[in-house]
Amino acid sequence: MIIEDEELRSLYKAASAEHIQKIEAGLLHLEKYPHDFAKLEALLRETHSLKGDSRMLGVKDVETLTHQMEEILASVKRNERIFTPELFDSLYQALDAVRKIAQEAVTGQPAGVSVFHVLAQLMMVSSTDDTWSEILETAAESEVSVFSQPIVEQSLVFNDTVHLNGSHEPADAVTEIDDYQIDTIRVESQRLDKLFTQVGELVASKGQIANQKDEIDQIIALWEEWNREVSASRQIFTNLERHWSANEIQPLKNFYRQVENRLKDLGVHLNQLRNKTNECTTRLEIVANELESGVTSLRLLPLSTIFNLFPRTVRDLAKQQGKEVNLQIEGGETSVDKRILEEMKDPLMHILSNAIDHGVETPEERQQLGKSPTATISLRGYQTGNTITIEVSDDGRGLDIEAIKRSALRRGIRSQAELLRMSTAEIQTLIFAPGFSTRKAVTEISGRGVGLDVVRANVERLKGTIQVEFTPGQGCLFRITVNNILATTQVLIVQVNEHPYAIPIGFVETMLLVSPQEIFTDEGSQTFSFQGQSVSVVWLADLLGLPVKVPTSTQALNTAAKTIPCMILQIGSERLGLLVNTVLEQQDIVVKPQSKLLKRIRNVSGATILGTGKVCTVLNPPDLFKSAKKTVVSITVRELTEKAQLKQKILLIEDSIPIRTQMRRILESAGYEVTAAVDGQDGLDKLKADKFDAIVSDIQMPNLDGLKFTAKIRQIPEYRKLPVILVTTLASEEDKRLGAEAGADAYITKSDFEQGVLLDTLRRLM
């Protein structure tokens, strides 16, 4: 008998060899110290584990023998019998037989073992019943053909060579020992994890050395500049020599020559240092990359390691619920880090249980809906770059948004007012809230309030994300995405109040520069529009409990008033904008976990040491999202702009008092400084008296209309590029053509007027 599956065969080969070795060591120990019950307990565990492995893979003979060995050891533990030399001999004999049979299961080579004979010997020597011994002896005598077989065939061949002392020498014994080699080594996962961490440290150190290389380049640049200055001063020195005597100039001449020589020597040493550093850095990078790749591959296991655990569970749960479910598995061959497998087992089990309990309908319901009576649940894994994605989808009901709302209200997770303001995407994320469940009654697998929040916590512990998508009546999909490289973390280093902070790049959707005019207040929170969605923006300093510093220099004030660096974080369908002082760089780091003395610090997941030697705090994005909902804004972007005293000036030309008042309010609320004019002539006078960043003008006005005003200022060179927006009731194509010919940059009709269009147009033109 041989195990057919190659992967399982390889695993059994390593596991059985380890179990047999530990069982043999345990027997040897107990033979010397028979009353060491702790060792006996460990021996029982090893025997039981070997029996279980053999049963699962169909190695029946090993299962039978180890079961009998386990019974004997258990009876000794219960003080029903004691260890005797005969008992140990039989156990060793049985263990030899187990070793041979396990070898046959792996290689297919016949073991040459009479299992019945070995079993009979074990039962005879372990029996305390004399009658049973007599029966076995009688059976042994009557079954000569069976019991006359050797228990274990000798694997060594002896020749007839006789030494002077009359002994026989096994011819192949030495050869077998010489050929012995260990094909596999089992390593404790903790030792591998420690090595994995050290590799991450090496990768981080590689980045620090690269920084030192840059410092050497800066020193060489300084030396080159100094060398040029010395060369330039040579002419001045030559001119001085003509006016001074030789005795007066000689000390200075010697000093000058000494400076030149030392500069030359310094240049030689610096260039040698740079070349050697380049060679070492290149070599270190190659070695570090290969070592990282090698150690990472040691930790990789196929997704099938956990995927294959689920078919039986799905079958049993479906049967328990009176449902028919077909589980389809794809991508089991995808290799992932073992820690991902450890952390993903329970979340996937929970999602599958939810799919069966909540998502999949009964066969009768499915037939009424025109579906197949058998539901389909798909479990799929795939890799994209360094990212592993696991998807669980079903063709059941999908999410019930109204039921989610009712449950959120009933359990106090959200208020009615909050639910009214939330989008569908935000409502569906409530299923990940702690304590959420749509079950009113507790069943064996649902309704206890311990649900998808645990799944989300496990995913976030791996610095991953979980998303949910659904189509009512057609099914639901959960998508878990994690980084497959866990030794190092790729982060963006940002600066807040002159201190560096690291944000894992897996949570960063994009980075952009935001104009203060783009940020508006919506129900007490700062918001701006991004890809058609309103996104809350907060100062990172506020989330960290730090003061938001207002720039003091004119240049910094100018920058702050025009653009602010903003990072868009995304977790599932949620987005958050973080306003920071500066975005420094992208870097691979090793995250140092927090000390146990500090326990759990909000918003912080650990720390790292940058190439500059500075300690950098690593932030926890899921915490930042939670903090953003509770943090009080210390200073709004609008207030910062006002403090900067750099409001952009708008010249508003409108003859209608109500319209002029309304438009003035719109522009001022957006942060602009507005100067109003009652007609084109008044506007021309005010334009000559002050400087403006843009003009918003009506067309039909007394004295000087908007078209003539625009055409007139376009003839003045300093106003040719000044943005002009015409806002008018004239909506024909001819009117728009005339506006363009006059030199207007934009044309907005009052019938279609929206303040957002006006403000967007101003931002675009300015």
Over residues 94-132, the pLDDT tens digits come to 999 999 999 888 888 888 888 888 888 888 766 554 444
Least confident of 64-73, 195-204, 262-271, 390-399: 195-204
> CA angle 722-726-728, nearest 5°?
170
- Sign of the Cα torsion 738, 742, 748, 749 reads negative
Q: Mean pLDDT over residues 690-718, rounded?
A: 89
Q: Which helix (H) or strand (E) holds 619?
A: strand 615-619
Q: Which fold has domain 647-765?
A: Rossmann fold (3.40.50)
Q: What pairs with residue 567 in β-bridges?
A: 511, 578
What is the pLDDT, as a whole number, of residue 183? 58
> pLDDT at residue 693 above 50?
yes
The pair of three-digit structure tokens given for residue 662, joined into one six-digit string: 């309304």
What is the pLDDT, as a whole number, of residue 114? 85
> pLDDT at residue 286 above 90?
no
HEC readout, 666-702: HHHHCCCEEEEECCHHHHHHHHHHCCCCEEEECCCCC
For residues 13 and 523, what is the distance between their CA atoms, to the nearest angstrom? 65
Residue 66 falls in which region: left (phi positive, over 0), alpha (psi -120 to 50) or beta: alpha
Pair 385, 482: CB distance under 8 Å: no
Q: What pairs with residue 725 in β-bridges?
A: 696, 746
Pair 641, 516: CB distance under 8 Å: yes
User: 650-663 b/e with 16+ CB inside 10 Å = b?
Assistant: bbbbbbeeebbeeb
DSSP result, 528-548: EEETTEEEEEEEHHHHTT---
User: Average pLDDT over the chain, rounded to whole?
Assistant: 78
Give start and end residues of each alpha helix (H) in 33-161: 37-56, 60-77, 85-107, 115-126, 130-142, 144-147
Residue 737 pLDDT grade (very low, low, confident, very high; cuts 50, 70, 90): confident
What is the pLDDT, as a whole number, of residue 595? 64
Q: Tens digit of pLDDT for each residue in 404-435?
A: 888 888 877 788 877 887 777 777 778 877 76
- Sign of the Cα torsion 538, 544, 624, 406 reads negative
What is the pLDDT, as a whole number, of residue 603? 85
Q: Which fold has domain 489-641?
A: OB fold (Dihydrolipoamide Acetyltransferase, E2P) (2.40.50)
Q: Mean pLDDT over residues 375-398, rounded?
A: 89
Q: Which of 72, 76, 94, 69 is nearest to 37 (CA)?
A: 76
- Over pLDDT 90: what percentage of the chain? 8
Q: Mean pLDDT over residues 664-689, rounded?
A: 86
Give the residue with greater pLDDT, 69 vs 239: 69
- Sign of the Cα torsion 22, 27, 30, 34 reads positive
What is the pLDDT, as a whole number, of residue 379? 93
Q: Which amino acid is at 111?
A: A
Q: Tens digit of pLDDT for each residue in 524-569?
A: 678 888 887 888 888 888 888 887 765 544 444 455 556 788 899 9
Q: Which of 332, 334, 448 is nearest to 386 (CA)?
A: 334
Give the CATH class of 6-147. Answer: mainly alpha
What is the pLDDT, as a whole number, of residue 614? 77
The pair of three-digit structure tokens given for residue 630, joined into one six-digit string: 């509770």
For residues 348 and 447, what is the distance between their CA atoms, to the nearest angstrom? 18
What is the pLDDT, as a whole number, of residue 377? 93
For residues 674 and 677, what is the distance between their CA atoms, to the nearest angstrom? 10
Which residue is listed with tokens 């939670």?
Answer: 626
Q: Which of 683, 755, 692, 689 is nearest to 719 (CA)?
A: 692
Q: Which helix (H) or strand (E) holds 557?
A: helix 554-562
For residues 692 and 535, what is the distance between their CA atoms, to the nearest angstrom? 31
Give the residue with greater pLDDT, 160 vs 390: 390
Give the residue with greater pLDDT, 678 vs 179: 678
Q: Tens digit of pLDDT for each residue in 288-297?
A: 778 877 777 7
For residues 712 and 743, what is the distance between their CA atoms, to the nearest angstrom? 9
What is the pLDDT, as a whole number, of residue 439? 54
Q: What pairs with residue 471 in β-bridges?
A: 475
Reduce the DSSP state of residue 729 to 3 states and report it: coil
What is the pLDDT, as a whole number, of residue 224? 84
Reduce the DSSP state of residue 240 to 3 states and report it: helix
What's the Rg (C-alpha) of the chain? 40
Q: What pairs with residue 152 in β-bridges?
A: 113
For residues 361 and 322, what is the distance between their CA atoms, to the nearest angstrom? 10
The greatest distance separating any two alpha carbons of the chain, rounded to the nearest whole angstrom, comes to 137
Residue 642 pLDDT grade (very low, low, confident, very high; cuts 50, 70, 90): low
What is the pLDDT, as a whole number, of residue 555? 45
Pair 488, 200: CB distance under 8 Å: yes
- CB under 8 Å, gap of 24 or more: what pairs does 725-728 form? 725/694, 725/695, 725/696, 725/697, 725/758, 725/761, 725/762, 725/765, 726/697, 726/698, 726/699, 727/654, 727/663, 727/696, 727/697, 727/698, 727/753, 727/758, 728/698, 728/699, 728/700
Q: Mean pLDDT over residues 463-479, rounded?
A: 85
Q: Tens digit of pLDDT for each residue in 57-78?
A: 888 889 999 999 999 999 998 8
Cβ neighbour number for residue 518 with a 10 Å cutoff = 22
What is the pLDDT, as a whole number, of residue 220? 86
| CA dist list (Å): 686 to 230, 435, 646, 682, 703 | 57, 63, 19, 6, 15
> pLDDT at residue 153 above 60?
no
Pair 377, 326: CB distance under 8 Å: yes
Q: Which fold has domain 302-483?
A: Heat Shock Protein 90 (3.30.565)
Pair 580, 496: CB distance under 8 Å: yes
Q: Mean pLDDT over residues 757-766, rounded?
A: 80
Q: Which of 297, 295, 307, 309 is nearest to 335 (CA)?
A: 297
Strand order in the sheet with 604-609: 582-589, 489-496, 499-504, 615-619, 604-609
Q: What pairs with residue 331 in β-bridges?
A: none
For residues 75 and 306, what is the distance between their CA atoms, to the nearest angstrom? 36
| CA dist list (Å): 5 to 1, 398, 479 | 12, 38, 30
Q: Tens digit of pLDDT for each residue in 302-312?
A: 888 888 878 87
Angle between helix axes 338-354 and 310-321 (nearest 10 degrees) is: 10
Give start and end residues of each alpha helix (H) in 244-375: 246-298, 304-307, 310-321, 338-354, 363-368
Q: Which of 502, 641, 499, 671 is nearest to 563 (CA)?
A: 641
Residue 342 burial by Cβ neighbours in a 10 Å radius (0-12, 13-18, 19+): middle
Q: Tens digit of pLDDT for each residue in 563-619?
A: 788 899 987 678 899 988 888 888 877 776 666 666 667 888 888 877 666 788 889
| CA dist list (Å): 398 to 313, 360, 404 | 22, 9, 12
Which residue is listed with tokens 């719109």?
Answer: 666
What is the pLDDT, as a whole number, of residue 447? 38
Q: Tens digit of pLDDT for each residue in 341-379?
A: 888 888 888 889 888 888 899 999 999 989 999 999 999
User: Would you kindly state where each structural domain of the chain is located, as residue ranges?
Assistant: 6-147, 190-298, 302-483, 489-641, 647-765
Strand order in the sheet with 574-579: 508-514, 564-571, 574-579, 533-539, 525-530, 520-522
Q: Tens digit of pLDDT for each residue in 166-183?
A: 333 343 433 333 444 555
Q: Mean pLDDT over residues 30-45, rounded?
A: 89
Which residue is listed with tokens 């009557």?
Answer: 142
